[in-house]
Amino acid sequence: MIEANRIRRPGGGRKSLRETDPGLLAVLESLIEPATRGDPESPLRWTCKSTRRLADELTKQDHPVSARTVAKLLWDEEYSLQANRKTREGSSHPDRNAQFEYINASVQRFLKRGQPAVSVDAKKKENVGDFKNGGHEWFPKGTPEEVRVYDFLIKSLGKAALYGVYDLFRNEGWVSVGIDHDTAQFAVNSIRRWWNEMGQERFPRARELLITADGGGSNSARSRLWKVSLQDLADDLGIKLFVCHFPPGTSKWNKIEHRLFSFITKNWRARPLVSLEVIVNLIANTTTRTGLTVKAAIDTNRYPIKIKVTEEQIRALNLKRHEFHGEWNYTLSPRK
């Protein structure tokens, strides 16, 4: 007996596509994942898999559906729109974890003795000018800050090269804002400026300085100019420089990345970096609830590239490689 309030009898109405076209889902899944379960010659393997394109291809294969229906089917099968995720670091060095432990033990030893330990790295160069900067910021409704449509370099303003030094003991940072190339000399001069502006006052009895750095870039473990410049720094400061590099492909583990640079990026989100002075002010006003303080200054020096380091300069280094991976860990002592 049909219930009094029912319009249709049980089982009435239009049947679902799962019933009228039982092969539809299998074909749809083969189009979504052709590399693993479908035809490697699928026309959609190398194209954007929008719901409209999927609907068109299904229709060509005798499964006529609309783009909206495709979207509903994908949702019912627990598919969702997703972006790429950075998780693969490539092949890792067999002593990667051992090097992490070596760096950590070195940092703990320096901090326990009250000797300075810093994490250093270069941040990506930034276009100077009224360019769009990622993120969102509060503005009165309907009054977003207007910026350029295209990110073509403004030659009169150029790019800002940023090199940071993060004090692991005091949760303080220094950033040099350069106007020229990001070279080993620029990197070491940034460490020198941190010492003159902050480190020397914080550690008046320092006899050693631990520097943890990535394995590539301007502070590359293989860079001869990096070592020559560090030797000059050791001579100038009169202290030993104890250097540890992170293994290849592990730059995200460098403390400066998530203790300094990430907060700088958050602080200037949605704000056009219209001048070097604006960049310096935004960096210097970066703070956190854990008490991070940052200083920044413009470095107007020119740093030429392709400087050739002679064998004589290498022989003059007062460098001692550590027993454990001497290519990553070494000490430069003053020559005086």
Please tell me whether residues 31 and 146 are part of one structural domain: no
Please tell me whether residues 294 and 174 are part of one structural domain: yes
Share of the chain above pLDDT 70, in %: 83
- Residue 90 in domain: no
105 CB-near residues (< 8 Å, 6+ apart) = none
Q: What is the CATH number of the domain that holds 282?
A: 3.30.420.10
For 65, the domain range is 17-76
> Phi/psi at 205 (nearest 5 deg)?
-105, 20
The total number of structural domains in the chain stands at 2
35 pLDDT more than 60: no
Q: Is there a contact between 288 and 204 (Cβ–Cβ < 8 Å)?
A: no
- Residue 100 in domain: yes
Share of the chain above pLDDT 90, in %: 54
Q: How confident is the model at residue 277 (pLDDT cuts 50, 70, 90)?
A: very high
Give the mean model confidence (pLDDT) for residues 198-227.
Answer: 96
- Residue 88 in domain: no
Question: How far apart, in Å, are the Cα atoms of 276 and each of 152, 156, 160, 269, 283?
Answer: 17, 12, 7, 16, 11
- Residue 44 in domain: yes
Q: How confident is the model at residue 305 (pLDDT cuts 50, 70, 90)?
A: very high
- Residue 10 in domain: no
Write out the two tokens for 213: 């750095």
pLDDT the model gives residue 77: 75
Chain centre to alpha carbon of residue 318:
34
pLDDT the model gives residue 21: 83
Please tell me whether residues 165 and 52 are part of one structural domain: no
Tens-digit pLDDT profile for residues 129-181? 877 777 656 556 655 667 666 677 788 888 999 999 999 999 999 999 999 99
- Residue 327 in domain: yes
> What number of CA atoms fall less than 13 Å from residue 95's CA on the CB side?
11
Please tell me whether residues 278 and 245 are part of one structural domain: yes
Please tell me whether residues 226 and 310 are part of one structural domain: yes
Give the mean model confidence (pLDDT) for residues 80-105.
Answer: 78
pLDDT the model gives residue 203: 96
Please tell me whether residues 45 and 107 are part of one structural domain: no
Please tell me whether residues 101 and 206 are part of one structural domain: yes
Please tell me whether residues 267 and 119 are part of one structural domain: yes
Please tell me whether residues 158 and 31 are part of one structural domain: no
- Residue 207 in domain: yes
Q: Is there a contact between 322 and 235 (Cβ–Cβ < 8 Å)?
A: no
Q: Is there a contact between 216 and 305 (Cβ–Cβ < 8 Å)?
A: no
Task: Please write down the long-range contacts of 52-58, taking CB distance under 8 Å and 24 or more positions apart.
Answer: 54/28, 57/31, 58/24, 58/27, 58/28, 58/31
Q: What is the pTM of this model?
A: 0.74
Please tell me whether residues 70 and 101 are part of one structural domain: no
Please tell me whether residues 54 and 119 are part of one structural domain: no
HEC string of the chain equals CCCCCCCCCCCCCCCCHHHHCCCHHHHHHHHHCCCCCCCCCCCCCCCCCCHHHHHHHHHHCCCCCCHHHHHHHHHHCCCCCCCCCCCCCCCCCCCHHHHHHHHHHHHHHHHHCCCCEEEEEEEEEEECCCCCCCCCCCCCCCCCCCCCCCCCCCCCCCEEEEEEEEECCCCEEEEEEECCCCCHHHHHHHHHHHHHHHHHHHCCCCCEEEEEECCCHHHCCCCHHHHHHHHHHHHHHCCEEEEEECCCCCHHHCHHHHHHHHHHHHHCCCCCCCCHHHHHHHHHCCCCCCCCEEEEEEECCCCCCCCCCCHHHHHCCCEEECCCCCCCEEEECCCC
Give the mean model confidence (pLDDT) for residues 84-109.
Answer: 82
> What number of CA atoms fall less than 13 Å from residue 77's CA on the CB side?
15
Q: Is there a contact between 27 and 58 (Cβ–Cβ < 8 Å)?
A: yes
234: exposed, middle or buried (C-beta count within 10 Å: 0-12, 13-18, 19+)?
buried
Please tell me whether residues 189 and 46 are part of one structural domain: no
Q: Which of 43, 76, 109 is the C-terminal boundary of a domain? A: 76
- Residue 123 in domain: yes
